[in-house]
Structure 1
């Protein structure tokens, strides 16, 4: 009641929501299936009361290491912005300059934030990344496990999740705007060196181990020009993704992050970013753990399609023969 009353006359309202280490930490999982990745009922009531009484749009600050379903926050018409600060007392430094507009945010979501229903679909004991039927019972079944229906794995992480995330991996906004331009984008790549590298690795180790990083160094180079088209100096984190042929089918990931770089770009200026996919970024892993070169047409994308943020993509044709 006091918070709601204060919001009614305040010039600006900052509402802090989230979790602390009593909610979840190492050796203590968040419990309650869907409730484990949702804001508590008390916090949702506080949000409704404060937002309902506020005379102006409010700013919600989230402090949590658990990726919470923020749908009620995003759907509240009185919420003007959401600033995620991570785990309390660990990553809170630097928030005030952003809140006062002295510096632009440039962070990117490091997790895929799922809707709360995700917690009821798949057991925490199912470690499969790929989507499909689960051998474990649905977490929301109150009966004995032997009588509960099996869960369905919708896929884990941005690489395999088939649903619509509340916050996608890599999402982030800025007080300025950016434009990406691909300056160097190869059109063809031979995967013959990758196929040979995987054969050599298997022969050397007796198994389908990952090749040594030095042996799988950058296969090709991409140059992206990042232009700050707004009026405020700001940092930008450029993310590079590989989208393989047959993405999302037969255990093939939807996309995979192959590199990133954070740069400072003054207003009106352009900064060049170089990103290098490794040979192993063009390999796929079968259900039995074996790895093979995946030939076909790839898509290389840079950035995340968020309002005002840079994004560009280009096709890449791969073959097994030398180019």
Structure 2
């Protein structure tokens, strides 16, 4: 995908020239099976009464070998004799329709922008699946509108990114829903259902697709470019235990519950095997065990890396053969198109292997309605340019930014500010007056944009601005000028943090502190100001701001992620109390000392003997700057367990382990697991005098956890809006097999009998799990 260094930029430019769509810009969508063309409309693959499998089989059987090979890249050229237009598989829609791929055009038509929602990591901070679904639904609607408006060459979007945010230095952590497997899995399901046009609860798709979603990057991919270690050659050493309870669950949820129609294999190897060449991963696990029914694409040039970087095979032909036979159906890039014939000639690959890949491809295109005649006359045909940047979508972008903002510090109730009492305001920082810095990566041109500086001017008459540093890199800072300005105004707001030059695809961080002169600038301004200052952190990944956390001259801190096109407005609303913040951190904020841990160490669990602290809130045993799930509000909430399950009894089945305290989830089977349910009713009350919305988060922990068990585990969450003094009962359903099971070293999932606790806020509820007749 998009690279940062010069060499990769040149390579990508070359790839672009090789893969430009053959189809000319048009104001009508491309489609096959035109009823006006009697030579093709009567062919079996055009008959909607037949099954997708039969239609795809018929189509593939009519292709010449050369035509088949031509379809193996992300740009599938047209096949005029069969009335089949070209198709571009590579489009992006991470948090809005984007121009990062090859399938979308923001010029040459009526659509010049798309709604830019908050970057995923900030949307995740809302812990609100319905919000995630609505964002996906809006993106899918706008994607189809681009297509119907003749400004798209495909409808397959390579999103969402559901890799676990394992290491805080990862440049692409901003693209993910955070570090918790349950949260990431729920995000995947909600977003995929929305993007593909399914109902929120699933089961309403009926085989058709509004747009196609793609779960990426399978698997254990969370290192791009760190201290000379590059993703295209990195071999991730992952235990079966970590694979079972951390790396794989989000992908399984994305496939089984979300019914995603696409999967992308990653650049890296896992335990010596490139993921795009691993039949156990792509075929045995994804297709057979999880029931995946869609197409599998490589990441861009990842098939080439099987030979060129991983040295897993001895020739390009063998790389193509290994990928296709493992289960890859589409190659992002021309590598498979260029070397498949050679692989066939050498009998490393067979026609049947290519036929299988093409059947998977064309079934997805058929589900998108592109072989049913003119899409504008069928399902979703009414969507066009007027559905892009709709007021409803832009309002949703603002709601999402509001919901994700996290209040980290608010000493002496500095916030919210009073418009009536504030005569002058200084806005300082490199992230104060740049709209594009609020978007994050994989963003397209936004419908509208308001910088924080512009938004704050609508609240205060006298607003004075100083960037302080030219960029977030802050190699040089106007410290004296900033301190002078701070002493002249009633209040100071600093917009600091990171930008896409600090963290990005193909760019991991080596530090967790603020870049260069930022800390000095913040500290001096805080010392010079008349009253405690407000610090806004713009960033995708966590930052060690311990100095600001303990500094009494810094009265309030807000983490704003990359809040999207409406971010400036949302931040201003929070600062002045028009919105009560309720977001919670979806990832742990580690201290700078964590950088002593090699990013290449994929282990999740702590190793006391080796001095390894573990990773994420589930296993990390070191100090934190801010913990997972942390976030303040302008009001206070109390929790109380009203009613909850006290005991769960299950059949004993230990898989021959000899340990009668451990029960195999697999041997219990899905029927018994379905019967085992834990119900918890929690009374939530807004104890303050300000209305607010926040997510209620339920954790579980074992009173005497076995070695390698999580310290605690998020088992449920749901947002709730409460007026001042209002209270409500919330019911959470918990599955012991899904939420309380732990992974053994061999990757099998087991239930431990004994005492557990459900935890909400500062409240705990005891729970006993025991086998039958014990």
Flag whether TM exceeds 0.5 (same fold).
Answer: yes
| Gap change, CA 1:82 and 1:216, over 3 Å in 2 | farther
Higher helix residue share: 2
Given the superposition, is the C-alpha separation of residues 215 and 295 from structure 1 closer, same or farther in structure 2, using an over 3 Å criterion?
Answer: closer
Verify the 8 A CA contact 2:673 2:735 in the aligned structure 1.
Answer: no
Q: 1:66-86 deviations in whole A, cap 9, x for unaligned?
A: 211110111212011100001
1:91 and 1:321, CA in 2 relative to 1: closer, same or farther beyond 3 A?
A: farther
- The separation in 2 between residues aligned to 1:217 and 1:262, in whole angstroms, is 26
> Which residue in the other structure is 1:199 paired with?
667
For 1:154 and 1:108, the matched residues in 2 are separated by 23
Q: Report how far residue 320 of structure 1 moved.
A: 1.0
Q: 1:90 to 1:124 in 2, by over 3 A?
A: farther
Change in CA separation of 1:106 and 1:88 when aligned onto 2, cut-off 3 Å: closer
Counterpart pick for 1:13 among 489, 492, 497: 492
Matches within 5 A, 1:213-252: 216=674, 219-247=677-705, 250-252=707-709
Partner of 1:153: 612
1:104 and 2:580 equivalent?
Answer: yes
Deviations 1:263-296 (A, max 9, x none): 1000011122111211222211112212211111
Alpha-carbon shift at residue 96 of structure 1 (Å)? 1.2
TM superposition shift of 1:87: 2.4
Within 2, Cα distance between the matches of 1:66 and 1:236? 22
Compute the displacement of 1:88 (Å): 5.6
* Pair 1:47-2:526 in alignment: no
Cα offset for 1:153?
A: 1.8
Equivalent positions of 1:301-320 (< 5 A) are: 301-303=759-761, 311-320=762-771
SS at structure 2 position matched to 1:112? coil
In structure 2, the partner of 1:132 is 607
Relative distance call for 1:42 and 1:319 in structure 2 (3 A) is same
Contact 1:246 1:252 in 2 (8 A): no
Q: Does 1:30 align with 2:487?
A: no
Residues 187 and 317 of structure 1 are in contact (CA less than 8 Å); yes or no, is this contact kept in structure 2? yes
Contact 1:191 1:293 in 2 (8 A): no
1:173 aligned onto 2:637: no
Contact 1:223–1:275 under 8 Å retained in 2: yes
Shift of 1:196: 6.6
> TM-score under structure 1 normalisation?
0.82
1:95 aligns with 2:571: yes
Q: 1:236/1:112 Cα in 2 relative to 1: closer, same or farther (>3 Å)?
A: same
C-alpha distance in structure 2 between counterparts of 1:26 and 1:18, whole Å? 18
SS state of the match for residue 318, structure 1?
Answer: strand
Report the Cα distance in structure 1 between the residues aligned to 2:572 and 2:674, rounded to whole angstroms.
42
Verify: 1:300 aligned to 2:758, yes or no.
yes
* Correspondent of 1:271 among 724, 728, 743: 728
- Residue 217 and residue 84 in structure 1: after superposition, are their counterparts in 2 closer, same or farther (change >3 A)? farther
Q: 1:119 aligns with which of 585, 595, 599?
A: 595
* 1:87-107: CA deviation from partner (whole Å, max 9, x where unpaired): 264682521111001221100
CA distance in 2, matches of 1:44, 1:71: 10
The 8 Å contact of residues 245 and 295 in structure 1, kept in 2 or not, is answered as: no
- Paired position in structure 2 for 1:255: 712
In the alignment, the residues of structure 1 paired with residue 515 and residue 748 of structure 2 have an alpha-carbon distance, to the nearest angstrom, of 43
2:652, 2:772 within 8 Å by CA — same for their partners in 1? no
8 Å CA contact retained: 1:85, 1:91: no
**3-state SS, counterpart of residue 313 of structure 1:** strand
Aligned residue pairs total 284
Q: 1:216 to 1:163 in 2, by over 3 A?
A: farther
Q: 1:94 to 1:216 in 2, by over 3 A?
A: farther
SS in 1 for 2:611: strand
Residue equivalent to 1:69:
544
User: Residues 300 and 50 of structure 1: is their aligned pair in 2 closer, same or farther, counting only changes over 3 Å?
Assistant: same
Does residue 182 in structure 1 map to residue 641 in structure 2? yes
- Deviation of 1:217 after TM superposition, in Å, equals 7.8
Contact 2:699–2:715 under 8 Å retained in 1: yes
Q: Indicate conservation of the 8 Å contact 2:664/2:748, yes or no.
A: no
**In structure 2, do the counterparts of structure 1 residues 193 and 100 end up closer, same or farther at CA, with 3 Å as the change threshold?**
farther
Pair 1:60 & 2:535 matched: yes
Which residue of the other structure, out of 71, 78, 83, is the alignment partner of 2:558? 83
Alpha-carbon offset, residue 181 of structure 1: 1.5
Structure of greater Rg: 2
Q: Which of these residues, 155, 159, 162, is aligned with residue 621 of structure 2? A: 162
Pairwise CA RMSD: 2.3
Matched position secondary structure for 2:717: strand
| TM-score normalised to structure 2 length | 0.35
Question: Aligned partners of 1:198 and 1:256: how far apart in 2?
Answer: 20
Structure 1 residues 133 and 314: alpha-carbon distance in aligned structure 2, compared to 1, 3 A threshold: closer
| Partner Cα separation in structure 2 for residue 66 and residue 218 of structure 1 | 38
> Which runs of at least 4 in structure 1 moved beyond 2 Å after TM superposition?
87-93, 191-197, 214-218
In structure 1, stretches of 5+ residues that fail to align are 135-150, 202-210, 304-310
Tell whether the 8 Å contact from 1:217 to 1:279 is kept in structure 2 after alignment: no
